[in-house]
């Protein structure tokens, strides 16, 4: 038996529903629709951990939140028998008997048939209603023009989600008009019931206008049907206005209608409106709570990073212990708290996760750090790094990226951060080397190399593990100029290169390299790259070339900008052969240094012109001839490129 058919036939019977969140709901099935959205009464809800129970008079459950259903065996047997008796056959061509014959209705008197017709129309058994109307007209000689009850039954039967439609209702209304019949307020209520299942904005507006002309008051059920139809027609503002008018008029808004409106608004990403509706529902103390509604709002709001809705549900349901959200949902809430800069909410999320023995990962701590940084609480953010170190989850450069951005924004912040690290060490708490490194990086970024070196001197005291390669790379970056970090295709100007680095900076870099050797800290590609850049600014660039050769022997390549700086320095020293060789190696490695190649061509051309002029003045061409041989060698190295373009 299909689930939808079972639910339709099992209305009024007990049922157990388990939600995807782990909650279980026991109650009596009142209604279901084609999307398996359920309405239950006399409900008992059990939390996912089995520790909390809630008794509700009525609840509404979205079909997409259901994990599985359970009904008693006798209910299934009864549902099978009921479906065999009530199932609607499409046509008589199949050879099956008509429903009126199956139920022995031909022998009933006309008054009894009208009673069956009204009950059948209310249940939405479309085929049986049509057969009963046909029986009353053909066999009992009932005239539709004198019996509006026939039209009313045909209209109301269209509330069937599978066989009814708003188009059929329009056809019946047109037929009534031809017969000179006006739909009564009761028939209008039936139309609104149909439109709650098959939305039609134009027809609904016409019916409401007709009722206004008749000065007819809508019953409570009709008001609810109007709201449901508007929600399904995505007329959210009109549906909310109608709910407000119902409350103003003292008409009870059923809990399932509140829940349905909240679900639909969340599904449409109208979270502000859903929050406003949730607050109104929460303010009505006589209404029972539905845990799945709160969980759905929390899930939708946190996934959309909607801080106000997330905070409201968390404080109302999670903090008191009524709702136990899943770990994935908690992670969404943590992201929302980090974006909004709410450390209280973020810390409480950690409390909930910790109570279920969650193994925290880097992402959890990083979001918590971001939350405290958003409130300018550097002390707590750094303390979290210490907690990570103590939990054997050492933070790395990725963990401290946002902390670096925060520290570099103000020259006083790195020193304040260092003071926090020192206080943690004095309190006997572990200080991660990544926390010291981020202070070094911030000072280097602020062009305070001396301050960064002072921090390095204290690192051995603060961190038992000592410095890492990231520590030395940060300091070496401070030993090189801003120009060394230029783009790959932007070679440095020859005039500026002589002044970029002082001998003190090279001495500092050599000291750091010696420290790495003494502490057995293995260098990486970035280390060699920055040592090359530092040594290129020294009067003698042989150290740079030595580091370059050692780097290549390890299978590493300098960055494109470093390749360009090496070529430029060799050209300045008139070592064009090695400049061309390095440039060819870069090209063989797949790097395109087109601007550097053009720059080298121009240098060679200018030098040749200068030598030719000098040779002409001295009436000797040997220099020019020698330079011509050099240009030919460079041209050969660059792949027969026309270095003498324009000569």
Cβ neighbours, 10 Å, residue 259: 25
Cross-sheet strand order for the sheet of 53-61:
53-61, 38-46, 24-32, 14-19, 66-70
With the C-alpha atoms ordered 109, 112, 114, 116, is the resulting torsion angle positive or negative?
negative
Residue 619 pLDDT greater than 70, yes or no: no
Q: How far is it, in rounded angstroms, from Cα 544 to Cα 538?
A: 9
What pLDDT does 134 receive? 87
What's the whole-number mean pLDDT along residues 526-540?
Answer: 91
Q: How far is it, in rounded angstroms, from Cα 302 to Cα 609?
A: 70
What pLDDT does 78 receive? 64
CA 69-274-298 angle, to 5 degrees, is 60
Q: How far is it, in rounded angstroms, from Cα 477 to Cα 562?
A: 13
Q: Where are the alpha helices (H) located in 198-326, listed in sequence order?
A: 201-213, 220-232, 236-248, 255-267, 271-283, 291-303, 307-313
Q: Which of 148, 140, 129, 53 is nearest to 86 (CA)?
A: 129
Cβ neighbours, 10 Å, residue 74: 9
Q: How far is it, in rounded angstroms, from Cα 69 to Cα 29?
A: 11
Residue 523 has what DSSP assignment?
P
Q: Tokens 């990962």, residue?
A: 361
What pLDDT does 552 receive? 92
What pLDDT does 488 receive? 37
Quick: pLDDT tens for 81-139.
655 444 333 333 333 445 665 567 777 888 888 888 888 888 888 888 888 888 888 88
Quick: pLDDT tens for 299-329.
999 999 999 999 999 999 999 988 888 888 9
End-to-end CA distance of the chain: 91
Quick: pLDDT tens for 410-467.
999 999 999 999 999 999 999 999 999 999 999 999 999 999 999 999 998 998 889 9
Percent of the chain exceeding pLDDT 70 equals: 85
- Which of 380-389, 497-506, 589-598 has the weakest average pLDDT? 497-506
Which residues on adjacent β-strands are paired with residue 40? 29, 59
- Phi/psi class of residue 78: alpha, beta or left (left: φ > 0; alpha: ψ in -120 to 50)? alpha
What's the whole-number mean pLDDT along residues 378-407?
Answer: 90
Q: How far is CA 81 from CA 2, 10, 71, 84, in A?
A: 14, 11, 15, 5
Is pLDDT larger for residue 620 or for residue 68? 68
Q: Where are the alpha helices (H) located in 23-147, listed in sequence order?
A: 73-86, 99-102, 110-123, 126-138
What is the average pLDDT value for the chain, to the nearest integer?
83
- Model confidence at 495, in pLDDT bands (50, 70, 90)? very low
What's the whole-number mean pLDDT along residues 371-398?
Answer: 89
3-state SS of the chain: helix, strand, coil percent to 5? 65, 5, 30
What pLDDT does 89 receive? 37
- Which of 48-57, 207-216, 304-313 has the weakest average pLDDT? 48-57
Quick: pLDDT tens for 169-181.
999 999 888 888 8
With beta carbons less than 8 A apart as the criterion, state whether 612 and 622 touch. Answer: no
What is the DSSP annotation of 281-316? HHH-TTSPP-HHHHHHHHHHHHHTT-HHHHHHHIII
What pLDDT does 90 receive? 37
Is pLDDT larger for residue 142 or for residue 313? 313
Provide φ and ψ at 637, rounded to 5°. Answer: -65, -35
Polymer length in residues for the chain: 647
- Model confidence at 393, in pLDDT bands (50, 70, 90)? confident
Q: Is 629 helix (H, G, I), strand (E, B) or coil?
A: helix
What's the whole-number mean pLDDT along residues 472-479?
Answer: 92
Is pLDDT larger for residue 496 or for residue 448? 448
């Amino acid at each position: 038996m299909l689930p939808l058919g079972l639910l339709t036939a099992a209305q009024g019977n007990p049922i157990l529903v388990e939600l995807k969140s782990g909650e279980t709901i026991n109650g009596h099935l009142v209604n279901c629709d084609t999307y398996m959205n359920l309405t239950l009464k006399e409900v008992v809800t059990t939390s996912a951990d089995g520790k909390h129970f809630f008794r509700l008079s009525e609840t509404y459950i979205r079909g997409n939140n259901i994990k599985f259903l359970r009904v008693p065996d006798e209910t299934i047997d009864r549902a099978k028998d009921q479906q065999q008796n009530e199932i609607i056959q499409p046509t008589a061509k199949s050879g099956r008997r008509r429903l009126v014959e199956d139920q022995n209705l031909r022998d009933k008197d006309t008054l009894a048939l009208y009673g069956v017709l009204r009950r059948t129309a209310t249940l939405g058994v479309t085929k049986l209603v049509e057969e009963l109307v046909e029986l009353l007209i053909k066999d009992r000689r009932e005239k539709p023009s004198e019996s509006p009850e026939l039209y009313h039954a045909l209209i109301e039967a269209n509330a069937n989600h599978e066989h009814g439609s708003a188009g059929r209702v329009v056809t019946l209304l047109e037929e009534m008009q031809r017969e000179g019949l006006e739909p009564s307020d009761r028939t209008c209520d039936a139309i609104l019931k149909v439109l709650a299942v098959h939305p039609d904005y134009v027809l609904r507006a016409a019916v409401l206008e007709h009722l206004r002309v008749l000065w007819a008051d809508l019953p409570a059920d009709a008001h609810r049907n109007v709201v449901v139809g508007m929600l399904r027609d995505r007329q959210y503002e009109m549906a909310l206005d109608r709910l407000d008018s119902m409350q103003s008029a003292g008409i009870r808004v059923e809990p399932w209608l509140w829940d349905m409106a909240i679900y639909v608004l969340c599904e449409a990403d109208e979270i502000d409106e859903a929050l406003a509706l949730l607050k109104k529902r929460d303010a009505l103390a006589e209404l029972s709570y539905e845990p799945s509604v709160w969980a759905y709002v929390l899930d939708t709001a946190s996934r959309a990073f909607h801080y106000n809705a997330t905070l409201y549900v968390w404080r109302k349901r999670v903090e008191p212990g009524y709702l136990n959200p899943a770990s994935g949902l908690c992670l969404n809430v943590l992201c929302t708290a980090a974006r909004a800069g709410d450390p209280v909410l973020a810390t409480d999320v950690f409390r909930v996760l910790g109570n279920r023995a969650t193994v925290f990962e880097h992402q959890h701590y990083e979001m918590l750090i971001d939350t405290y940084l958003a409130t300018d609480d550097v002390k707590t953010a750094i303390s979290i790094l210490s907690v990570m170190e103590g939990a054997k989850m050492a933070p790395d450069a990725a963990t401290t990226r946002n902390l670096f951005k925060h520290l570099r924004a103000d020259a006083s912040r790195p020193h304040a951060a260092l003071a926090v690290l020192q206080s943690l060490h004095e309190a006997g708490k572990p200080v991660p080397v990544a926390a010291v490194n981020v202070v070094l990086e911030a000072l280097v970024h602020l062009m305070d190399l001396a301050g960064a070196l002072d921090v390095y001197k204290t690192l051995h005291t603060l961190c038992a593990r000592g410095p890492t390669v990231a520590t030395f790379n940060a300091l070496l970056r401070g030993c090189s100029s801003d120009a060394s970090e230029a783009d790959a295709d932007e070679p440095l100007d020859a005039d500026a290169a002589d002044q970029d680095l002082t001998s003190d900076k090279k001495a500092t870099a050599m000291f750091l390299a010696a420290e790495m050797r003494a502490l057995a800290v293995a260098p990486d590609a970035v280390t060699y790259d920055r040592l090359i850049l530092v040594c290129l600014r020294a009067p003698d660039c042989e150290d740079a070339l030595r580091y370059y050769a050692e780097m290549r022997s390890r299978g590493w390549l300098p960055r494109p900008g470093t390749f360009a700086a090496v070529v430029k320095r060799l050209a300045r020293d008139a070592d064009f052969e090695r400049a061309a060789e390095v440039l060819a190696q870069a090209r063989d490695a797949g790097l395109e240094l087109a601007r550097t190649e053009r720059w080298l061509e121009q240098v060679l051309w200018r030098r040749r012109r200068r030598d030719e002029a000098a040779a002409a003045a001295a009436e000797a061409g040997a220099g020019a001839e020698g330079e011509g041989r050099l240009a030919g060698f460079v041209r050969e190295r660059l792949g027969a490129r026309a270095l003498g373009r324009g000569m």
